Amino acid sequence: MADPETNLTEPRRPVSTFELFFDLVFVFSLTRVTDLILGEPNAGGVLRGMLVLALLWWAWGAYAWLTNAVDTDSAAARGVVLAAMGAMMVVAVAVPLSSGKNALPFALAYFVVRVLHLVLFAVAGGANRAAILRLAPGNLAASILLIIGVWVPTQIQVVLWCLAVVIDYGTPIITGVGGFTVHAGHFFERHSLFMIIALGESVVSVGAAVLRGDRVQITPLLATTILLGVAAIGGLWWAYFDWEAALSERQLARAIGAERAHLARDMFSYLHLPLVAGVVFIAVGLEAVVSHPHEHLHGVFAFGLGGGAALFMFGLSAISGRRGHRPRLDHLVAGLLCLCLIPLSLFVQSLVTLVLLVVILLVIAYIDRHHGRTGYQPRVRSAAQQAVSADA
């Protein structure tokens, strides 16, 4: 959706092919998180999967901030980022083995990823150097906790991981992110492309479920299930890109200075995590539906399909609120309806649950199309209401 009101005085720097190349490793990382949950489909597996996802998302986001503010065209800078890419690949490979003593490769490689980020930012960051140094103690402390967790019982390890996530995500709230340079168009494009990566992981899950089932032929039922799975993923794409993404980009472009940095932190670094987590959960649910379309969903798989979509919709509502707009009622209603699919999926065939999810997402898509045709403008909250959610 083109917007003539977006700040055009700031030249838009496109995402480079080198940045896209760096992001490739995160495609694999997301599939490993899904595999972790599928390999341990219970509360413990979900908790570990979400902790790993939170760490991976934060590491990727750190490099998104880096390449947004720092020129990586030099051979030295590219060498550092490529080294980080290699370390992140080790992290991704080690994801399903990240508990107990097997956590050592994961923790050490993750520590290397974070240290390389801080070093390059501190050396090449220029005006951003002071800002990154404020975050450095928290970043290093969180990574060190993962290493300590290797040598303690599993229960304590989980506690340390939770603490590491709290420190990582809490440090920018305490220190603020004023002083970071944020090029709005590039920053938005980088995160929107990551959403494509996340949605692509769900597409991979649909295909992987077919291969895991050792199908010898594509039956009409299997083909229908595959088409419905792709339709559900397409509905998520539509809900994010057709309307909401353009509003977020415009709001980020309008902000300046520290206000823009804090808006970028909240809308993208924080509030995009529920969207990515929702897509991962949906991927888990789709695997079960494609594998057993006539059976009921249960446990993690029942939550995955409806709960993941609900998390996605509520995440969009939270982003809308942070940018100063009133959360859309249709998103909130859709999120509640998706939650209702969780208990329903325990009693009806999984294919029926998927059909109902597609219907909900198609309705949201229709509403978005209607907004686009009529030139609808979202209602802006009052100054007092916005002040409640503004950064101190």
> What distances in angstroms separate CA 306 from CA 99, 188, 278, 320, one per listed residue?
28, 28, 9, 21
CB–CB of 29/113 below 8 Å? Answer: no
**Alpha-carbon distance 236 to 313, whole Å?**
9
Residues with Cβ within 8 Å of residue 311, at least 6 apart in sequence: 274, 275, 277, 278, 281, 335
Note the pLDDT of residue 389: 43
For residues 140 and 114, is the Cβ–Cβ distance under 8 A?
yes
pLDDT in tens, the chain (392 residues): 334 334 445 666 788 888 888 888 888 888 889 988 988 888 888 999 999 999 999 999 999 998 888 887 888 888 988 999 999 999 988 887 666 666 888 999 999 999 999 888 877 767 788 888 899 999 999 999 999 988 888 889 899 999 999 999 999 999 988 888 899 999 999 999 999 988 988 888 888 877 776 656 788 888 999 999 999 999 999 999 988 898 999 999 999 989 999 999 999 999 999 999 999 999 999 999 988 888 999 889 999 999 999 999 999 999 999 988 888 888 999 999 999 999 999 999 999 999 999 999 999 988 887 765 554 556 555 434 444 444 44
Query: By three-state DSSP, how is residue 271 classified?
Result: coil
CA distance 46 to 34: 9
Instruction: Choose among 344, 237, 349: nearest CA to 288.
Output: 349
Q: Are 55 and 165 in contact (CB under 8 A)?
A: yes
Question: Domain extents for the chain?
Answer: 16-181, 184-392
Please identify, in words, the CATH class of the domain defined by 184-392.
mainly alpha
Contacts 24+ apart (CB under 8 A), 33-38: 33/95, 33/280, 34/201, 34/205, 34/280, 34/283, 34/284, 34/287, 35/95, 35/96, 36/95, 36/96, 36/98, 37/280, 37/284, 37/300, 38/284, 38/287
Give the pLDDT of residue 8. 44
In DSSP terms, 325 is beta-bridged to 380
String of DSSP letters for 176-231: --TT----HHHHHHHHHHHHHHHHHHHHHHHHHHHHHTT-SS--HHHHHHHHHHHH
Q: In whole angstroms, what is the distance from residue 337 CA to residue 341 CA? A: 7
Record the tokens describing residue 117, joined without a space.
């980020």
Chain-centre distance of CA 304, in angstroms? 15
Q: How many helices (H) and strands (E) would you count in the chain?
A: 15, 0
Rounded Cα gap, residues 67 and 213, in angstroms? 41
pTM for the whole structure = 0.89
pLDDT for 391 equals 43
